[in-house]
Chains A and B, each alone.
Chain A
Amino acid sequence: MSDTDGDVLVRAVGLVKSYGGEPVVKGIDFEVRRGECLGFLGPNGAGKTTTINMICCFVSVGGGELEVFGRPVEGHAREIKRRLGVVSQDNNLDPDLTVIKNLLVYGRYFGIPRERRLERAEELLEFVQLDEKRDSHIRQLSGGMRRRLTLARALISTPELLILDEPSTGLDPQARHVVWQKLRALNRAGVTMLLTTHYMEEAAQLCDRVLIMDEGRIIARGTPEGLIDEHIGAEVLELYPSDPAHAGALALLEGAADHVERAGDEVFGFFRQGERARELLPALAEHHVVHRRATLEDVFLRLTGRELRE
């Protein structure tokens, strides 16, 4: 089926996985198309990491079909892994080696000739802005530097598909934005990307399409804008009714919004037409109100609920 459709790099049909009888991926279908950035969104335990680990041949397929580069993963691991770049969730850089050696030794695992590895490692150190750290040891690097080095390491083999498991988790805002810049640059240069995240802003910034996963199933899919439009609307008013007169404000909001949601001491009013939210603002001026555009986070919380996932 790959011959007829070379633009689909990953195809899953009815993909299933259980750990010790406990199902974690419960029959999902998706495709990753050449050149796109696809995001897997979901709370902890949704099955995102398990899904990408099956693509990386690190977790065995429990059932259904999974093809990567047009080949079933079972029995084609070496071939598939040669064409993949993987940035895993936690730091697994080699602490026994320096920064440059991390790239060179990793490149050798792919059988890249020495000259080519050296050249590529230099390019990548520059790309991730670590050329001055080339002889440092891993423990001397900050979290952001480590993540950038992990990204450079995944790129040493010039992969056709880059897989990123929560690429900016645990980074400070500056470091996160640098990682995003690098990923956008790569995607523009034609690298196909598949990433998991629970940062909605990350998905909105990077992804052409997102799949929202919850409890092992894909519960929504589309472009970030399309999903916001479909599930939420345009704008949101957040009301924090701490004063005694809030009953009136609440009634106003409930009368005007297309949908109202309460969570703890917050009330959210969702508006399909932005003007209707803005018209309401003067009447709520005395209250603690936040007016903002609808985001992917609203979609996410609407679809996966607000209770804690631990």
Chain B
Amino acid sequence: MTVATARAAGAFRVWLRNYESWKDFAVASLVGTVAEPLLYFAAIGFGLGRFVEDIQGQPYVAFLAPGLVAATAMNAAAFETTFGSFTRMTEQRTYEAIVMTPISVGEVVAGDILWAASKSLLGGGVILLIMLPLGLIEGPLALAVLPLTFAVGIMFGALGMAYTAIAPSYTFFNYFFTLVIGVMFLFSGVFFPLEGLPGWVGWAAWLLPLTHAVILMRGLTSGALAPSMWIDLAWLVAFTLLVFWLAVRLIRRRLIR
């Protein structure tokens, strides 16, 4: 077995561990992963949406839905690799037990992040599924939303994991969820277009990873793709590689002395 396949197998075994502990409590977990975004979808999309005029030629709910897929992917993954991973790393000492086996710290981190991305896929996928009968999807290109949702999950899973590595206690996740995740949720173009706002707002939003995920999601569901979206994709790939590397490094530093 080469090193690469051994690493992939290790990460997958950690993923399976999470799956097996999740499936017994799947219903409770689904409430957070799936039901919450659907409530947003109903309340903002249909409730508030009735009073909003068409945006970029789309009904408000069609504008909102792809953004909500990206935001759901973010929330599900970030929640998993903070509260979930922090508990496994500290209180339960599950990480410590696993790294006593042939599995390495990098594989534990990768397995947890892939698990977080799987939850993103589940939550985002359900929204996509509901968009279909509502006629909010233009063409088969929208299928690419699924791998993109998984990729967005990896990115925010890795970001959450990097924060987990430096968080002294649960209380410190308040900073992360309010100042990082909360800001992105509200100001990355999920609920309103960033075009037409003062220039500095656009630039600030451009620095937020979720902004690029929202642009790509919207392009895929509406079918209105633009060449500039390659830049958004490149931005996401670069940021994901950076935070993933950082997450592995920081967790290793915290775990192995």
Q: Which chain A residues have a beta carbon within 8 Å of chain B's beta carbons?
A: 19, 56, 58-60, 77-79, 81-82, 84, 86, 88, 90-97, 101, 105-106, 108-111, 157
Measured in the bound complex, the distance between the Cα atoms of B101 and A151 in whole Å is: 14
> Which one, A19, A82, A93, A94, contacts B21 given CB within 8 A?
A94
Chain A interface, DSSP helix/strand/loop, else mixed = loop
> Which one, A59, A81, A157, contacts B257 given CB within 8 A?
A59
Contact of A105 with B17 at beta-carbon distance under 8 Å, contacts A77-B104, A88-B100 already known:
yes
The answer on a CB contact under 8 Å between B13 and A109 is yes
The answer on a CB contact under 8 Å between B92 and A58 is no
Interface string of B13-24 (1 = CB under 8 A from A): 100110011000
Measured in the bound complex, the distance between the Cα atoms of B222 and A120 in whole Å is: 54
Measured in the bound complex, the distance between the Cα atoms of B5 and A111 in whole Å is: 12
Contact of A109 with B96 at beta-carbon distance under 8 Å, contacts A19-B257, A60-B256, A60-B257 already known:
no
Measured in the bound complex, the distance between the Cα atoms of B104 and A47 in whole Å is: 24
The answer on a CB contact under 8 Å between A92 and B256 is no
Please name 17 further chain A to chain B contacts, defined as beta carbons within 8 Å, in addition to the given A58-B96, A82-B101, sorted by A numbering: A58-B99, A59-B256, A60-B256, A84-B100, A86-B100, A92-B92, A92-B96, A94-B94, A96-B92, A97-B20, A105-B17, A106-B101, A109-B17, A109-B101, A109-B102, A111-B13, A111-B102
The answer on a CB contact under 8 Å between A108 and B16 is yes
Interface string of B61-97 (1 = CB under 8 A from A): 0000000000000000000000000000000111011
Interface bracket on B: 20 to 34
Residues of chain A with a CB closer than 8 A to B104's CB: 77-78
Q: Which chain B residues have a beta carbon within 8 Å of chain A's beta carbons?
A: 6, 9-10, 13, 16-17, 20-21, 92-94, 96-104, 256-257
Residues of chain B with a CB closer than 8 A to A79's CB: 102
Chain B interface, DSSP helix/strand/loop, else mixed = helix
Measured in the bound complex, the distance between the Cα atoms of B20 and A112 in whole Å is: 17
Nearest opposing residue in chain B for A104, CB measure: B20
The answer on a CB contact under 8 Å between B256 and A105 is no
> Which one, A58, A78, A92, contacts B102 given CB within 8 A?
A78
Measured in the bound complex, the distance between the Cα atoms of B100 and A81 in whole Å is: 7
The answer on a CB contact under 8 Å between A82 and B17 is no
Contact of A58 with B100 at beta-carbon distance under 8 Å, contacts A90-B93, A92-B93, A96-B92 already known:
yes
Measured in the bound complex, the distance between the Cα atoms of B97 and A94 in whole Å is: 8
Residues of chain A with a CB closer than 8 A to B102's CB: 78-79, 81-82, 109-111
The answer on a CB contact under 8 Å between A88 and B257 is no
Residues of chain A with a CB closer than 8 A to B99's CB: 58
Residues of chain A with a CB closer than 8 A to B96's CB: 58, 88, 92
Measured in the bound complex, the distance between the Cα atoms of B104 and A237 in whole Å is: 53
Residues of chain B with a CB closer than 8 A to A97's CB: 17, 20-21
Residues of chain B with a CB closer than 8 A to A81's CB: 100-102
Residues of chain A with a CB closer than 8 A to B9's CB: 111
> Which one, A78, A84, A88, A96, contacts B6 given CB within 8 A?
A78
Shortest Cβ distance from residue B114 to the other chain A in the assembled complex, whole angstroms: 16
The answer on a CB contact under 8 Å between A93 and B97 is yes
The answer on a CB contact under 8 Å between A94 and B17 is yes
Residues of chain A with a CB closer than 8 A to B257's CB: 19, 59-60
Nearest opposing residue in chain B for A95, CB measure: B92
Measured in the bound complex, the distance between the Cα atoms of B103 and A108 in whole Å is: 10
